[in-house]
A and B are shown apart, each in its own frame.
Chain A
Amino acid sequence: MKEEIIIAGFGGQGVLSMGKILAYSGIMQGQEVTWMPSYGPEMRGGTANVTVILSDKKISSPILSKFDTAIILNQQSMDKFENSVKPGGLLIYDPNGITRHPHRKDIKVYTIDAVNISVELGESKAYNMVVMGAFLKLKPVVEYENVLKGLKKSIPERHHSLIPMNEKAIKAGMEKLVQI
Protein backbone atom coordinates (compact mmCIF):
# COMPACT_ATOMS: atom_id res chain seq x y z
CA MET A 1 0.00 0.00 0.00
CA LYS A 2 1.21 3.47 -0.88
CA GLU A 3 -1.02 6.54 -0.87
CA GLU A 4 0.31 9.88 -2.04
CA ILE A 5 -1.93 12.79 -1.06
CA ILE A 6 -1.87 16.55 -1.56
CA ILE A 7 -4.12 18.65 0.67
CA ALA A 8 -4.42 22.29 -0.41
CA GLY A 9 -6.45 25.31 0.62
CA PHE A 10 -6.28 28.58 2.52
CA GLY A 11 -4.09 29.03 5.59
CA GLY A 12 -6.43 28.58 8.57
CA GLN A 13 -8.64 25.89 7.02
CA GLY A 14 -6.75 23.22 8.92
CA VAL A 15 -4.91 21.85 5.90
CA LEU A 16 -1.65 21.21 7.74
CA SER A 17 -3.29 19.78 10.87
CA MET A 18 -5.48 17.45 8.82
CA GLY A 19 -2.35 16.18 7.15
CA LYS A 20 -0.73 15.73 10.53
CA ILE A 21 -3.69 13.72 11.86
CA LEU A 22 -3.62 11.51 8.75
CA ALA A 23 0.13 10.97 9.15
CA TYR A 24 -0.21 10.15 12.85
CA SER A 25 -3.03 7.72 12.04
CA GLY A 26 -0.67 6.01 9.61
CA ILE A 27 1.98 5.69 12.33
CA MET A 28 -0.64 4.13 14.63
CA GLN A 29 -1.24 1.57 11.88
CA GLY A 30 2.50 0.83 11.67
CA GLN A 31 2.97 2.62 8.35
CA GLU A 32 5.85 4.76 7.14
CA VAL A 33 4.78 8.39 6.75
CA THR A 34 6.05 11.75 5.54
CA TRP A 35 4.37 15.15 5.96
CA MET A 36 5.89 17.90 3.85
CA PRO A 37 4.29 21.34 4.16
CA SER A 38 4.56 24.48 2.15
CA TYR A 39 6.01 26.84 4.72
CA GLY A 40 6.40 30.56 5.05
CA PRO A 41 3.86 33.31 4.39
CA GLU A 42 1.19 30.69 3.54
CA MET A 43 0.70 30.10 7.24
CA ARG A 44 -0.49 33.67 7.59
CA GLY A 45 -3.50 33.56 5.29
CA GLY A 46 -2.26 32.74 1.79
CA THR A 47 -2.57 29.32 0.21
CA ALA A 48 -1.22 26.38 2.18
CA ASN A 49 -0.58 22.84 1.09
CA VAL A 50 0.88 19.67 2.50
CA THR A 51 2.02 16.44 0.88
CA VAL A 52 1.28 13.36 2.97
CA ILE A 53 2.60 9.93 2.01
CA LEU A 54 1.45 6.75 3.77
CA SER A 55 3.23 3.55 2.82
CA ASP A 56 3.98 0.03 3.96
CA LYS A 57 7.54 0.47 2.73
CA LYS A 58 10.30 3.03 3.35
CA ILE A 59 9.45 6.32 1.64
CA SER A 60 12.07 7.75 -0.70
CA SER A 61 11.10 11.18 -2.08
CA PRO A 62 8.85 13.35 0.12
CA ILE A 63 8.48 15.74 -2.84
CA LEU A 64 6.10 14.60 -5.59
CA SER A 65 4.78 15.90 -8.89
CA LYS A 66 1.80 13.48 -9.19
CA PHE A 67 -0.65 12.34 -6.52
CA ASP A 68 -3.10 9.48 -5.96
CA THR A 69 -5.46 11.88 -4.20
CA ALA A 70 -5.88 15.65 -4.23
CA ILE A 71 -8.01 17.26 -1.52
CA ILE A 72 -8.76 20.78 -2.70
CA LEU A 73 -10.31 23.52 -0.61
CA ASN A 74 -9.99 26.69 -2.70
CA GLN A 75 -9.89 27.87 -6.31
CA GLN A 76 -6.14 28.62 -6.41
CA SER A 77 -5.43 25.06 -5.32
CA MET A 78 -7.83 23.68 -7.94
CA ASP A 79 -5.95 25.60 -10.64
CA LYS A 80 -2.62 24.40 -9.30
CA PHE A 81 -3.29 20.73 -8.53
CA GLU A 82 -6.13 19.39 -10.71
CA ASN A 83 -3.63 18.30 -13.34
CA SER A 84 -1.35 16.72 -10.74
CA VAL A 85 -3.77 13.87 -10.00
CA LYS A 86 -2.62 10.58 -11.53
CA PRO A 87 -4.95 9.13 -14.18
CA GLY A 88 -7.55 7.03 -12.35
CA GLY A 89 -6.82 8.99 -9.16
CA LEU A 90 -9.17 10.82 -6.83
CA LEU A 91 -10.07 14.48 -6.44
CA ILE A 92 -12.18 15.62 -3.48
CA TYR A 93 -13.13 19.28 -3.21
CA ASP A 94 -15.29 21.64 -1.24
CA PRO A 95 -17.50 23.45 -3.81
CA ASN A 96 -17.83 26.60 -1.64
CA GLY A 97 -16.03 29.43 -3.41
CA ILE A 98 -15.10 27.28 -6.40
CA THR A 99 -15.86 29.13 -9.64
CA ARG A 100 -14.18 26.73 -12.05
CA HIS A 101 -15.07 23.14 -11.34
CA PRO A 102 -12.72 20.31 -12.34
CA HIS A 103 -12.87 19.29 -15.99
CA ARG A 104 -10.90 16.04 -16.03
CA LYS A 105 -12.75 12.89 -17.07
CA ASP A 106 -9.97 10.39 -16.31
CA ILE A 107 -10.16 10.77 -12.53
CA LYS A 108 -12.85 10.20 -9.87
CA VAL A 109 -14.29 13.46 -8.57
CA TYR A 110 -16.29 13.94 -5.36
CA THR A 111 -17.50 17.02 -3.51
CA ILE A 112 -17.89 17.51 0.21
CA ASP A 113 -19.86 20.54 1.38
CA ALA A 114 -17.74 20.77 4.51
CA VAL A 115 -18.47 24.44 5.27
CA ASN A 116 -22.19 23.85 5.68
CA ILE A 117 -21.83 20.43 7.29
CA SER A 118 -19.49 21.75 9.97
CA VAL A 119 -21.72 24.77 10.62
CA GLU A 120 -24.74 22.45 10.98
CA LEU A 121 -22.76 20.44 13.51
CA GLY A 122 -22.26 23.65 15.43
CA GLU A 123 -18.49 23.42 15.20
CA SER A 124 -17.02 25.21 12.22
CA LYS A 125 -13.50 24.47 13.57
CA ALA A 126 -14.09 20.77 12.82
CA TYR A 127 -14.24 21.71 9.11
CA ASN A 128 -11.07 19.83 8.23
CA MET A 129 -12.28 16.66 9.98
CA VAL A 130 -15.43 16.63 7.80
CA VAL A 131 -13.13 16.71 4.77
CA MET A 132 -10.92 13.98 6.24
CA GLY A 133 -13.99 11.81 6.85
CA ALA A 134 -14.90 12.10 3.18
CA PHE A 135 -11.39 11.06 2.18
CA LEU A 136 -11.33 8.07 4.55
CA LYS A 137 -14.70 6.86 3.26
CA LEU A 138 -13.30 6.71 -0.28
CA LYS A 139 -9.79 5.58 0.65
CA PRO A 140 -9.87 3.59 3.89
CA VAL A 141 -6.05 3.48 3.94
CA VAL A 142 -6.09 3.68 7.73
CA GLU A 143 -8.49 1.76 9.98
CA TYR A 144 -10.97 3.90 11.88
CA GLU A 145 -9.62 2.95 15.32
CA ASN A 146 -6.15 4.07 14.26
CA VAL A 147 -7.58 7.36 13.02
CA LEU A 148 -8.98 7.95 16.51
CA LYS A 149 -5.60 7.10 18.02
CA GLY A 150 -3.93 9.46 15.55
CA LEU A 151 -6.38 12.20 16.50
CA LYS A 152 -5.54 11.79 20.19
CA LYS A 153 -1.81 11.96 19.45
CA SER A 154 -2.12 15.07 17.28
CA ILE A 155 -4.32 17.14 19.57
CA PRO A 156 -2.72 18.55 22.74
CA GLU A 157 -4.10 16.91 25.87
CA ARG A 158 -5.74 20.12 27.08
CA HIS A 159 -8.02 19.98 24.02
CA HIS A 160 -8.96 16.30 24.35
CA SER A 161 -12.50 17.27 25.32
CA LEU A 162 -12.93 18.24 21.65
CA ILE A 163 -12.30 14.71 20.39
CA PRO A 164 -15.97 13.57 20.38
CA MET A 165 -16.87 16.61 18.24
CA ASN A 166 -14.07 15.75 15.82
CA GLU A 167 -15.30 12.16 15.62
CA LYS A 168 -18.80 13.40 14.82
CA ALA A 169 -17.36 15.58 12.06
CA ILE A 170 -15.39 12.67 10.55
CA LYS A 171 -18.56 10.53 10.49
CA ALA A 172 -20.61 13.34 8.94
CA GLY A 173 -17.97 13.69 6.23
CA MET A 174 -18.12 9.96 5.56
CA GLU A 175 -21.90 10.09 5.10
CA LYS A 176 -22.33 13.28 3.16
CA LEU A 177 -19.89 13.23 0.27
CA VAL A 178 -21.32 13.46 -3.23
CA GLN A 179 -19.99 11.86 -6.40
CA ILE A 180 -19.77 14.08 -9.46
Chain B
Amino acid sequence: MAEKILMKGNEAIAHAAIRCGCDGYFGYPITPQSEVMETLMNEQPWNSTGMVVLQAESETSSINMLYGGASCGKKVMTSSSSPGISLMCEGLSYLAGAELPCLVANVVRGGPGLGTIQPGQGDYFQSVKGGGHGDYKMIVLAPASAQDMYDFVDLAFELAFKYRNPALILSDGVIGQMMEKVELRPMKPRLTEKEIIERYPWATTGKTPDRKQNVLTSLALDAAVHERLNQTLQNKYRQMEENEVRYETLMCEDADYVIVAYGCMSRICESTVELARKDGIKLGLLRPVTLYPFPTKYIQELTSHTKFMMSVELSAGQMVEDVRLAVNGKIPVGFYGRLGGIVPSPEEVLEAFKEQIKKLN
Protein backbone atom coordinates (compact mmCIF):
# COMPACT_ATOMS: atom_id res chain seq x y z
CA MET B 1 0.00 0.00 0.00
CA ALA B 2 1.22 3.49 -0.81
CA GLU B 3 2.57 5.62 1.98
CA LYS B 4 0.13 7.97 3.68
CA ILE B 5 1.36 11.50 4.22
CA LEU B 6 -0.02 14.09 6.63
CA MET B 7 -0.82 17.23 4.68
CA LYS B 8 -3.18 20.15 4.32
CA GLY B 9 -5.92 20.05 1.72
CA ASN B 10 -4.16 22.90 -0.09
CA GLU B 11 -0.89 20.96 -0.19
CA ALA B 12 -2.78 17.93 -1.52
CA ILE B 13 -3.99 20.00 -4.51
CA ALA B 14 -0.39 20.91 -5.35
CA HIS B 15 0.94 17.35 -5.07
CA ALA B 16 -1.97 16.03 -7.12
CA ALA B 17 -1.35 18.59 -9.86
CA ILE B 18 2.27 17.50 -10.26
CA ARG B 19 1.42 13.81 -10.12
CA CYS B 20 -1.52 13.86 -12.55
CA GLY B 21 0.47 15.39 -15.37
CA CYS B 22 -0.56 19.03 -15.09
CA ASP B 23 1.32 21.26 -17.57
CA GLY B 24 0.98 24.61 -15.89
CA TYR B 25 -0.16 26.44 -12.77
CA PHE B 26 -0.75 30.19 -12.84
CA GLY B 27 -1.79 31.80 -9.59
CA TYR B 28 -1.74 34.71 -7.22
CA PRO B 29 -1.50 34.28 -3.43
CA ILE B 30 -4.50 34.77 -1.13
CA THR B 31 -5.43 33.31 2.27
CA PRO B 32 -6.65 30.61 2.90
CA GLN B 33 -5.29 28.93 -0.25
CA SER B 34 -1.70 30.23 -0.47
CA GLU B 35 -0.20 26.83 0.39
CA VAL B 36 -1.12 25.59 -3.10
CA MET B 37 1.45 27.77 -4.87
CA GLU B 38 3.80 27.64 -1.85
CA THR B 39 3.94 23.84 -2.11
CA LEU B 40 4.39 23.94 -5.89
CA MET B 41 7.28 26.40 -5.54
CA ASN B 42 8.88 24.14 -2.91
CA GLU B 43 8.47 21.01 -5.03
CA GLN B 44 9.92 22.73 -8.13
CA PRO B 45 8.11 20.48 -10.63
CA TRP B 46 9.74 22.36 -13.55
CA ASN B 47 12.84 20.30 -12.69
CA SER B 48 11.00 16.96 -12.53
CA THR B 49 7.94 16.81 -14.82
CA GLY B 50 8.53 20.07 -16.68
CA MET B 51 5.35 21.61 -15.24
CA VAL B 52 5.35 25.42 -15.32
CA VAL B 53 4.54 27.24 -12.06
CA LEU B 54 4.12 30.97 -12.37
CA GLN B 55 3.00 33.73 -10.03
CA ALA B 56 1.01 36.08 -12.22
CA GLU B 57 0.64 39.80 -11.48
CA SER B 58 -3.06 39.37 -10.67
CA GLU B 59 -5.92 36.88 -10.79
CA THR B 60 -7.17 38.49 -14.01
CA SER B 61 -3.83 37.69 -15.54
CA SER B 62 -3.70 34.09 -14.31
CA ILE B 63 -7.15 33.19 -15.70
CA ASN B 64 -6.12 34.57 -19.09
CA MET B 65 -2.91 32.54 -18.95
CA LEU B 66 -5.22 29.55 -18.52
CA TYR B 67 -7.09 30.60 -21.67
CA GLY B 68 -3.81 30.58 -23.57
CA GLY B 69 -2.54 27.29 -22.15
CA ALA B 70 -5.89 25.52 -22.58
CA SER B 71 -6.09 26.69 -26.22
CA CYS B 72 -2.92 24.73 -26.86
CA GLY B 73 -4.47 21.57 -25.37
CA LYS B 74 -2.44 21.84 -22.17
CA LYS B 75 -3.63 20.76 -18.73
CA VAL B 76 -3.62 24.10 -16.94
CA MET B 77 -4.93 25.24 -13.59
CA THR B 78 -5.13 28.02 -11.08
CA SER B 79 -6.33 28.36 -7.51
CA SER B 80 -7.52 31.27 -5.43
CA SER B 81 -10.01 32.26 -2.77
CA SER B 82 -13.30 34.12 -3.10
CA PRO B 83 -12.25 37.72 -3.99
CA GLY B 84 -9.66 36.34 -6.42
CA ILE B 85 -12.23 34.09 -8.10
CA SER B 86 -14.52 37.11 -8.56
CA LEU B 87 -11.73 38.72 -10.59
CA MET B 88 -11.49 35.56 -12.71
CA CYS B 89 -15.20 35.36 -13.58
CA GLU B 90 -14.89 37.29 -16.86
CA GLY B 91 -12.15 34.91 -18.00
CA LEU B 92 -14.16 31.86 -16.92
CA SER B 93 -17.08 32.98 -19.08
CA TYR B 94 -14.70 33.33 -22.06
CA LEU B 95 -13.17 29.87 -21.39
CA ALA B 96 -16.66 28.33 -21.19
CA GLY B 97 -17.75 30.17 -24.35
CA ALA B 98 -14.70 28.99 -26.29
CA GLU B 99 -15.17 25.46 -24.88
CA LEU B 100 -11.79 25.29 -23.23
CA PRO B 101 -10.90 22.79 -20.48
CA CYS B 102 -9.17 24.03 -17.34
CA LEU B 103 -9.20 23.59 -13.59
CA VAL B 104 -9.87 26.34 -11.05
CA ALA B 105 -9.78 25.65 -7.30
CA ASN B 106 -11.61 28.06 -4.98
CA VAL B 107 -10.77 27.72 -1.27
CA VAL B 108 -13.71 29.81 -0.12
CA ARG B 109 -13.53 32.43 2.62
CA GLY B 110 -16.30 34.55 4.07
CA GLY B 111 -17.65 37.42 1.92
CA PRO B 112 -18.91 39.68 0.50
CA GLY B 113 -16.06 42.00 -0.43
CA LEU B 114 -12.73 41.25 1.21
CA GLY B 115 -14.83 39.70 3.99
CA THR B 116 -12.78 37.48 6.25
CA ILE B 117 -10.03 34.90 5.81
CA GLN B 118 -12.07 32.40 7.84
CA PRO B 119 -14.04 29.64 6.07
CA GLY B 120 -17.22 30.30 4.08
CA GLN B 121 -19.52 28.71 1.50
CA GLY B 122 -21.00 31.91 0.14
CA ASP B 123 -19.64 31.34 -3.38
CA TYR B 124 -22.16 28.62 -4.21
CA PHE B 125 -24.27 30.84 -6.47
CA GLN B 126 -21.16 32.22 -8.17
CA SER B 127 -19.94 28.68 -8.85
CA VAL B 128 -23.09 26.90 -10.02
CA LYS B 129 -25.22 29.72 -11.45
CA GLY B 130 -22.60 31.56 -13.44
CA GLY B 131 -20.50 34.23 -11.81
CA GLY B 132 -19.44 35.46 -15.21
CA HIS B 133 -21.87 36.58 -17.89
CA GLY B 134 -23.95 34.50 -20.27
CA ASP B 135 -25.50 31.04 -20.19
CA TYR B 136 -22.64 28.85 -19.12
CA LYS B 137 -21.98 26.15 -16.56
CA MET B 138 -18.88 24.80 -14.89
CA ILE B 139 -18.48 21.29 -13.51
CA VAL B 140 -18.31 21.95 -9.76
CA LEU B 141 -16.79 19.39 -7.37
CA ALA B 142 -16.99 19.88 -3.58
CA PRO B 143 -14.25 18.07 -1.62
CA ALA B 144 -14.81 17.15 2.04
CA SER B 145 -11.35 15.85 3.01
CA ALA B 146 -7.67 16.31 2.15
CA GLN B 147 -7.85 13.07 0.14
CA ASP B 148 -10.77 14.50 -1.86
CA MET B 149 -8.70 17.62 -2.55
CA TYR B 150 -6.03 15.32 -3.99
CA ASP B 151 -8.34 13.02 -5.94
CA PHE B 152 -10.59 15.74 -7.35
CA VAL B 153 -7.69 17.40 -9.19
CA ASP B 154 -7.31 14.40 -11.50
CA LEU B 155 -11.09 13.90 -11.72
CA ALA B 156 -11.69 17.58 -12.52
CA PHE B 157 -9.12 17.52 -15.33
CA GLU B 158 -10.64 14.31 -16.69
CA LEU B 159 -14.13 15.86 -16.77
CA ALA B 160 -12.85 19.19 -18.08
CA PHE B 161 -11.25 17.50 -21.10
CA LYS B 162 -14.13 15.07 -21.59
CA TYR B 163 -16.56 18.00 -22.01
CA ARG B 164 -14.10 20.71 -23.10
CA ASN B 165 -15.34 22.83 -20.23
CA PRO B 166 -13.90 24.61 -17.17
CA ALA B 167 -14.09 22.56 -13.96
CA LEU B 168 -14.10 24.10 -10.51
CA ILE B 169 -13.10 22.58 -7.19
CA LEU B 170 -15.26 24.43 -4.64
CA SER B 171 -13.46 23.96 -1.34
CA ASP B 172 -13.42 26.05 1.83
CA GLY B 173 -11.03 27.32 4.49
CA VAL B 174 -11.58 24.27 6.69
CA ILE B 175 -10.80 21.68 4.01
CA GLY B 176 -7.88 23.76 2.69
CA GLN B 177 -6.23 24.32 6.08
CA MET B 178 -6.99 20.99 7.76
CA MET B 179 -4.31 18.29 7.74
CA GLU B 180 -5.29 14.67 7.18
CA LYS B 181 -3.54 11.66 5.80
CA VAL B 182 -3.36 11.55 2.04
CA GLU B 183 -2.43 8.66 -0.18
CA LEU B 184 -0.47 9.79 -3.23
CA ARG B 185 -1.70 8.08 -6.41
CA PRO B 186 0.70 6.71 -9.06
CA MET B 187 2.46 9.31 -11.25
CA LYS B 188 0.87 10.07 -14.62
CA PRO B 189 3.25 11.55 -17.19
CA ARG B 190 2.44 14.85 -18.92
CA LEU B 191 1.18 14.41 -22.47
CA THR B 192 3.72 14.89 -25.25
CA GLU B 193 3.06 17.37 -28.06
CA LYS B 194 2.29 14.41 -30.36
CA GLU B 195 -0.25 12.98 -27.90
CA ILE B 196 -1.94 16.38 -27.55
CA ILE B 197 -2.30 16.67 -31.35
CA GLU B 198 -3.78 13.16 -31.53
CA ARG B 199 -6.18 13.52 -28.61
CA TYR B 200 -7.28 17.12 -28.97
CA PRO B 201 -7.82 17.87 -32.66
CA TRP B 202 -9.46 21.18 -31.67
CA ALA B 203 -6.30 22.55 -30.01
CA THR B 204 -4.24 25.30 -31.61
CA THR B 205 -1.12 23.22 -32.03
CA GLY B 206 0.06 24.79 -35.29
CA LYS B 207 -1.77 24.32 -38.58
CA THR B 208 -0.59 21.53 -40.85
CA PRO B 209 -1.46 21.18 -44.58
CA ASP B 210 -3.80 18.24 -43.89
CA ARG B 211 -6.29 20.12 -41.71
CA LYS B 212 -8.23 23.36 -41.48
CA GLN B 213 -7.16 26.16 -39.19
CA ASN B 214 -8.40 25.76 -35.59
CA VAL B 215 -10.10 28.89 -34.27
CA LEU B 216 -10.97 29.10 -30.58
CA THR B 217 -13.20 32.01 -29.72
CA SER B 218 -16.38 32.84 -27.85
CA LEU B 219 -17.24 35.60 -30.34
CA ALA B 220 -19.95 35.02 -32.95
CA LEU B 221 -21.51 38.20 -34.38
CA ASP B 222 -23.94 36.31 -36.62
CA ALA B 223 -27.03 35.67 -34.47
CA ALA B 224 -27.80 32.30 -36.05
CA VAL B 225 -24.22 31.12 -35.57
CA HIS B 226 -24.23 32.34 -32.01
CA GLU B 227 -27.49 30.63 -31.18
CA ARG B 228 -26.05 27.37 -32.55
CA LEU B 229 -22.97 27.83 -30.37
CA ASN B 230 -25.22 28.30 -27.33
CA GLN B 231 -27.26 25.21 -28.24
CA THR B 232 -24.05 23.18 -28.46
CA LEU B 233 -23.17 24.36 -24.97
CA GLN B 234 -26.64 23.59 -23.63
CA ASN B 235 -26.58 20.09 -25.12
CA LYS B 236 -23.26 19.52 -23.41
CA TYR B 237 -24.68 20.66 -20.07
CA ARG B 238 -27.64 18.28 -20.45
CA GLN B 239 -25.14 15.45 -21.01
CA MET B 240 -23.26 16.43 -17.85
CA GLU B 241 -26.54 16.45 -15.93
CA GLU B 242 -27.27 12.98 -17.29
CA ASN B 243 -23.87 11.40 -16.67
CA GLU B 244 -21.83 13.21 -14.04
CA VAL B 245 -24.00 13.58 -10.93
CA ARG B 246 -22.05 12.38 -7.89
CA TYR B 247 -23.17 12.28 -4.26
CA GLU B 248 -22.70 10.35 -1.03
CA THR B 249 -25.29 9.40 1.54
CA LEU B 250 -25.22 8.50 5.22
CA MET B 251 -28.18 6.60 6.69
CA CYS B 252 -30.69 7.96 4.17
CA GLU B 253 -32.37 4.57 3.55
CA ASP B 254 -34.63 4.64 6.61
CA ALA B 255 -34.42 8.38 7.28
CA ASP B 256 -37.44 10.45 8.31
CA TYR B 257 -35.38 13.63 7.92
CA VAL B 258 -32.40 14.48 5.75
CA ILE B 259 -29.71 17.14 6.07
CA VAL B 260 -28.15 18.29 2.79
CA ALA B 261 -24.61 19.64 3.21
CA TYR B 262 -21.39 19.81 1.16
CA GLY B 263 -17.69 20.43 1.83
CA CYS B 264 -16.68 21.01 5.45
CA MET B 265 -20.32 21.20 6.54
CA SER B 266 -20.96 17.64 5.31
CA ARG B 267 -18.18 16.44 7.64
CA ILE B 268 -19.69 18.33 10.58
CA CYS B 269 -23.19 17.09 9.75
CA GLU B 270 -21.95 13.47 9.68
CA SER B 271 -21.41 13.92 13.42
CA THR B 272 -24.82 15.59 13.74
CA VAL B 273 -26.41 12.48 12.19
CA GLU B 274 -24.52 10.24 14.65
CA LEU B 275 -25.72 12.39 17.58
CA ALA B 276 -29.32 12.43 16.32
CA ARG B 277 -29.38 8.65 15.88
CA LYS B 278 -28.27 8.29 19.52
CA ASP B 279 -31.35 10.37 20.44
CA GLY B 280 -33.53 8.01 18.39
CA ILE B 281 -34.11 10.52 15.58
CA LYS B 282 -33.97 8.94 12.13
CA LEU B 283 -31.78 11.57 10.49
CA GLY B 284 -29.76 11.02 7.32
CA LEU B 285 -27.22 13.05 5.36
CA LEU B 286 -26.98 13.76 1.65
CA ARG B 287 -23.62 15.14 0.56
CA PRO B 288 -23.62 16.42 -3.02
CA VAL B 289 -20.12 15.78 -4.42
CA THR B 290 -20.96 17.56 -7.66
CA LEU B 291 -22.77 20.84 -7.00
CA TYR B 292 -23.22 21.21 -10.75
CA PRO B 293 -24.63 18.89 -11.93
CA PHE B 294 -26.78 18.79 -8.77
CA PRO B 295 -28.29 15.51 -7.43
CA THR B 296 -31.82 16.71 -8.20
CA LYS B 297 -33.22 13.27 -9.06
CA TYR B 298 -31.96 11.67 -5.87
CA ILE B 299 -33.49 14.46 -3.78
CA GLN B 300 -36.79 13.89 -5.58
CA GLU B 301 -36.57 10.19 -4.69
CA LEU B 302 -35.89 11.02 -1.05
CA THR B 303 -39.11 13.03 -0.77
CA SER B 304 -41.09 9.77 -1.14
CA HIS B 305 -40.12 8.59 2.37
CA THR B 306 -38.89 11.67 4.23
CA LYS B 307 -40.83 14.37 6.08
CA PHE B 308 -38.37 17.26 6.11
CA MET B 309 -35.11 18.31 4.52
CA MET B 310 -32.67 20.90 5.87
CA SER B 311 -29.80 22.51 3.97
CA VAL B 312 -26.83 23.40 6.20
CA GLU B 313 -24.33 25.87 4.79
CA LEU B 314 -21.77 28.52 5.72
CA SER B 315 -23.92 31.04 3.84
CA ALA B 316 -27.19 32.93 4.18
CA GLY B 317 -28.93 30.18 2.19
CA GLN B 318 -27.76 29.41 -1.34
CA MET B 319 -27.76 25.65 -2.03
CA VAL B 320 -31.11 25.53 -0.23
CA GLU B 321 -32.66 27.10 -3.37
CA ASP B 322 -31.58 24.09 -5.45
CA VAL B 323 -32.86 21.73 -2.75
CA ARG B 324 -36.24 23.53 -2.85
CA LEU B 325 -36.36 23.32 -6.66
CA ALA B 326 -35.69 19.58 -6.47
CA VAL B 327 -38.19 18.97 -3.65
CA ASN B 328 -40.74 21.03 -5.58
CA GLY B 329 -43.05 21.61 -2.63
CA LYS B 330 -43.52 17.94 -1.74
CA ILE B 331 -42.09 18.26 1.77
CA PRO B 332 -41.00 21.28 3.83
CA VAL B 333 -37.41 22.45 3.36
CA GLY B 334 -35.49 24.23 6.13
CA PHE B 335 -32.17 25.99 6.31
CA TYR B 336 -29.45 26.55 8.89
CA GLY B 337 -26.37 28.63 8.21
CA ARG B 338 -23.66 30.65 9.92
CA LEU B 339 -21.89 33.66 8.44
CA GLY B 340 -18.74 35.68 8.89
CA GLY B 341 -16.38 32.73 9.07
CA ILE B 342 -18.08 31.06 12.04
CA VAL B 343 -18.22 27.28 11.68
CA PRO B 344 -20.95 25.63 13.77
CA SER B 345 -20.31 22.48 15.81
CA PRO B 346 -22.29 19.26 15.22
CA GLU B 347 -24.27 19.99 18.42
CA GLU B 348 -25.30 23.46 17.21
CA VAL B 349 -26.57 21.99 13.94
CA LEU B 350 -28.54 19.34 15.83
CA GLU B 351 -30.11 21.96 18.06
CA ALA B 352 -31.13 24.05 15.04
CA PHE B 353 -32.56 20.94 13.38
CA LYS B 354 -34.60 20.04 16.49
CA GLU B 355 -35.97 23.60 16.68
CA GLN B 356 -37.13 23.40 13.08
CA ILE B 357 -38.83 20.01 13.34
CA LYS B 358 -40.60 21.18 16.50
CA LYS B 359 -42.25 23.91 14.41
CA LEU B 360 -43.43 21.31 11.87
CA ASN B 361 -45.63 19.47 14.34
Q: Are B267 and A35 in contact (CB under 8 A)?
A: no
Binds A, one of B158-166, B178-186, B189-197: B178-186
Question: Is residue B244 within 8 Å, beta carbon to beta carbon, of the partner chain?
Answer: no
User: In the complex, which of the residues A32, A34, A63, A153 contacts B179, with contact meaning CB atoms closer than 8 Å?
Assistant: A34
Closest to A65 in B: B345
Residues of B within 8 A of A119 (CB): none
Q: Are B117 and A40 in contact (CB under 8 A)?
A: yes
Q: List 15 additional contacts besides A39-B31, A65-B348; criterion CB under 8 Å.
A: A27-B181, A33-B179, A34-B180, A36-B177, A36-B178, A37-B177, A40-B117, A60-B268, A60-B270, A61-B270, A61-B271, A62-B264, A63-B264, A64-B345, A65-B347
CB distance from B171 to the nearest CB of A (A): 14
User: In the complex, which of the residues A35, A39, A60, A64 contacts B6, with contact meaning CB atoms closer than 8 Å?
Assistant: A35
Residues of A within 8 A of B268 (CB): 60-63
Residues of B within 8 A of A61 (CB): 267-272, 345-346
Question: Is residue A24 within 8 Å, beta carbon to beta carbon, of the partner chain?
Answer: yes
Q: Are A27 and B274 in contact (CB under 8 A)?
A: no
Q: A24-B6, A60-B267, A65-B345 are in contact. Are A35 and B180 (CB under 8 A)?
A: yes
CB distance from B86 to the nearest CB of A (A): 20
Q: A27-B6, A33-B6, A153-B6 are in contact. Are A62 and B267 (CB under 8 A)?
A: yes
CB distance from A35 to the nearest CB of B (A): 4
Q: Which 6 A-B pairs have the closest CB atoms?
A: A60-B270, A61-B271, A65-B345, A35-B179, A60-B271, A61-B268
Q: Are B345 and A63 in contact (CB under 8 A)?
A: yes
Closest to A32 in B: B181
Residues of B within 8 A of A33 (CB): 6, 179-181
A-B contact pairs, 30 of them (CB 8 A): A20-B6, A27-B4, A27-B6, A27-B181, A33-B179, A34-B178, A34-B179, A34-B180, A35-B6, A36-B179, A37-B178, A39-B31, A39-B32, A39-B177, A40-B118, A60-B267, A60-B268, A61-B269, A62-B264, A62-B267, A62-B268, A63-B264, A63-B267, A63-B343, A63-B344, A64-B346, A65-B347, A65-B348, A153-B6, A154-B6
Q: A60-B267, A63-B343, A63-B345 are in contact. Are A20 and B179 (CB under 8 A)?
A: yes
Q: Which residues of B contact A (CB under 8 A)?
A: 4, 6, 31-32, 117-118, 173-174, 177-181, 264, 267-272, 274, 343-348
Residues of A within 8 A of B274 (CB): 60
Q: Are A23 and B177 in contact (CB under 8 A)?
A: no
Secondary structure dominating the interface of A: mixed
- Residues of A152-171 whose CB lies within 8 A of B: 153-154
Interface residues on A, range: 20 to 34
Residues of B within 8 A of A40 (CB): 31-32, 117-118
- Residues of A23-73 whose CB lies within 8 A of B: 23-24, 27, 32-37, 39-40, 60-65
Residues of A within 8 A of B271 (CB): 60-61
Complex Cα gap A37–B344 (Å): 15
